[in-house]
Chain A
Amino acid sequence: MIDFWEVINRSENGELMEERAYDRLVGKVSNEMIKKYNIKYDPEEVVSSDDNLADRLYDAAVEFFVKVGVYNCDTDRVIKFKEKELFEALEATPDQIVWGQGRDQRIMRHRKVEDTAPPFCNFTLVGTPYPEDQFLQACMSTARERLADCFSGPSLLGTLGGVEVKSGSAVEVAAGIFDIGKRREAARRVGYPGKGIYSHVSAAEKADAMIAAARPEFGCLDGDGVLCAAIAEMKVDNDRMKKTVFLLNTYYNMGGLNGPLMGGYAGGPEGTSMVLVAHNFLNLMVFRSQYSTNFPIDMWQTCNTTRPMLWLVGTAHQALARNTHFLHFANAFTAAGPCTNFVCYELINHGITAAVSGAHLAPAACARNKYPERCTGMEGRICAEAGHAAARSGMTRKDANTIVKKILSKYENKIKDAPLGKKFSECYDLDKVIPTQEYLDLYDEVKEEVSSYGLNYS
């Protein structure tokens, strides 16, 4: 596998290019590749069962990646890789990694398309703003979930100890330390002290804050994970590469995070699906990731549960699962908020689509990922149970497509007006940190309904 120092060298000495020109190059090459490889979105095949399409998408992503490379926004240079270097790295990447410590250790293994092994599940509240006084309970809501093989928490909203948390400020370091401390405390409180923490310092955007917080005395253990996020589309910067250098010297699980925008530089569902696959190559080659988390987003609806987005999620993960043994999570973003039938439909659809497409699950971000306290551990449960059920029952993509389309008909025309749902404090008993009976009953009703469509929960 190509040496990391050679990657740094290329990021300092690669082709000089204006960022504006690079953005246009991404769009141009994306368009060329989807034509060359005949990648076409079919709204009737929401969960595609076309192996050939998945393989063509993979080939297109390889050629795209080799042609456009990765842009470093700080050096204005393009880091290029040869196809041979990419394939060597894909061959060398592990097909399983271990999360957590002691009795809470879990192994995440590569899954195939239509694999009957259940997906490895990370329960997260990624990006959902929470105030300091509810942060611990929010983390407990994900950590305590039975299907959460590892877990994460929300983002700290506003202030810590009365002082505003700002990126790049001294308080960001304090927030990072607070963040990991609360996550570990949450794991202890719910009886899983060694459960792997998937991203231990989401309050720390900058590398220095993340590195400062990543210490065992704050709660960060070997077998936890840290993410480096790509900048859309296909970009990195020196701050992210600093994180990589640090992580290469630790025992943490190294992850990449990708959120290409459907409608953005890569174009429509076809181009964005291909660029999502290519982002996984970026993770591997530049961030040295052992796994990726993928949250493509519809630029207009800020979610990934619409018809084209589910197609995109399915095809991209199938391309990776069929052609590599790289580990990859699908991260559900919903339009609706907690404690609504709407969010249940969205989460079940995402869970089924991702699970039959060979992905692992990382639910969820809800209510378009912007409203405070509007994502809880319960949404992770809804998505993960659907994914487990689909895998365990040996669901084919063809059957998944039928079920997903039935569920889509319940919400897709109303997605612009998706309900905001309830806040954590309105749909959870905060003393016990368990969902309210109202939420459980609502979910049971939806489960009964989707069971009648063919999703076997038993």
Chain B
Amino acid sequence: MGNIFEEMEQAIIDGDEELCASLAQKTIDEGIDPSEAIDKGFAKGMRVLGDRFENGECFLPALLTAEDAMNAAIEILKPKIEASKAQKEKLGKVVIGTIHGDVHDIGKNIVKLFMSVAGFDVIDLGRDVPVRNFIQTAQRENADIIAASALMTTTMVYMPELIKQLKELGIREQYKVMIGGAPVIKSWAQEVGSDGYGLTAKEAVENAKELLI
């Protein structure tokens, strides 16, 4: 059993979509717990790559290729996971997007990827997202966290607006608000009343986990 998990981990690291799909099929054929296959095999490979990325030892294309390979495996395992009583609980639901007026989304995409790998259910609203869309989606999806990113000083000012509107609607306490992006510094994030901040994608994930404890 140990070997197949290691194979899965390596297949993800290599970004081998075909092998990941075949290992996922083998999981089903041999009656291996699909949640275990993901946690100890495929997702472990993503975590290894995530650490390498954080240390500057690999680059975004490797993460994207691995994500495609991971998705190929999950697609095959999905029916079994959903049928399984052992379906793993998600850590929490995150609504993420680049704030209104801002079209720069690489940082947000990396945080989204890291959060998904960590076990969060992530709803990506994309770029240039109006404040009301964050709030409406969070309400509709019953989210735990609203996460907003910005690259410009003239767009980061919509982040306090997000917090202000949540307060005005009387729903501020229902959500944890996380903010980040190139111009956002920790002291400012605290000053405007956000709950969480991440200088890096990894820090954002750790912070998100702490917020939901």
Quick one: closest B residue to A237, CB to CB?
A: B103
A205–B61 contact, CB under 8 A? no
Chain B CB within 8 A of A261 CB: yes
Q: How far is the CA of A156 from the CA of B106 in the complex (A)?
A: 24
B104 near A232 with CB under 8 A, answer yes
Q: Which residues of A contact B32 (CB under 8 A)?
A: none
Instruction: Verify A23–B64 contact, CB threshold 8 A.
Output: yes
Instruction: From B2-10, B21-29, B179-187, give the one contacting chain A.
Output: B179-187
**A residues near B200, Cβ cutoff 8 Å:** 300
Q: How far is the CB of A165 from chain B (nearest CB, A)?
A: 6
- Complexed CA–CA distance, A264 and B200 (Å): 14
- Closest-by-CB residue of B relative to A260 is B106
| Contact between chains at A30 and B157 (CB < 8 Å) | no
Contact A166 B157 (CB under 8 A): yes
Cβ-Cβ contact count across A and B, 8 Å cutoff: 89
- Answer whether residue A206 sits at the interface, using C-beta atoms and an 8 A cutoff: yes
CB-CB under 8 A for A166 and B64, given A206-B101, A263-B56, A370-B183: no
Q: Which residues of A contact B102 (CB under 8 A)?
A: 167
On chain B, the residues within 8 Å of A268 by CB distance are: 59
Cα(A164)–Cα(B164), bound, Å:
14
Asked if residues A232 and B106 are in contact (CB atoms below 8 Å), the reply is yes
Tell whether, in the assembled complex, residue B61 and residue A172 are in contact, meaning their CB atoms are under 8 Å apart. Answer: no
Q: Which residues of B sit under 8 angstroms from A28, Cβ to Cβ?
A: 61
User: Is B157 in contact with A158, judged by CB distance below 8 angstroms?
Assistant: yes
A14 at the interface (CB under 8 A from B): no
Q: Does B152 contact A (CB under 8 A)?
A: yes
Whose C-beta in chain B lies nearest to the C-beta of A368?
Answer: B182
Within 8 A of A (CB), among B174-208: 182-185, 200
Contacts of A263 in B (CB 8 A): 53, 56, 59-60
Q: Does A302 contact B (CB under 8 A)?
A: yes
Bound CA span A155–B56, Å: 30
Interface status of A430 (Cβ within 8 A of chain B): no
Contact partner of B60 among A27, A158, A231, CB < 8 A? A27
Known: A231-B104, A267-B60, A268-B59. A167 touches B152 (CB 8 A): yes
Q: Are A264 and B153 in contact (CB under 8 A)?
A: no
| B194 CB, min distance to chain A CBs, angstroms | 16
Residues of B within 8 A of A266 (CB): 61
Asked if A82 CB lies within 8 Å of chain B CBs, one says no
Is there an interface contact between A27 and B61, defined as CB atoms closer than 8 Å?
yes
Known A157-B153, A166-B158, A369-B182; contact A267-B59, beta-carbon cutoff 8 A? yes
Known A127-B183, A158-B157, A267-B60; further 12 A-B contacts with Cβ < 8 A = A24-B68, A166-B154, A166-B157, A167-B101, A205-B101, A232-B104, A265-B60, A265-B106, A271-B59, A370-B183, A370-B184, A371-B185
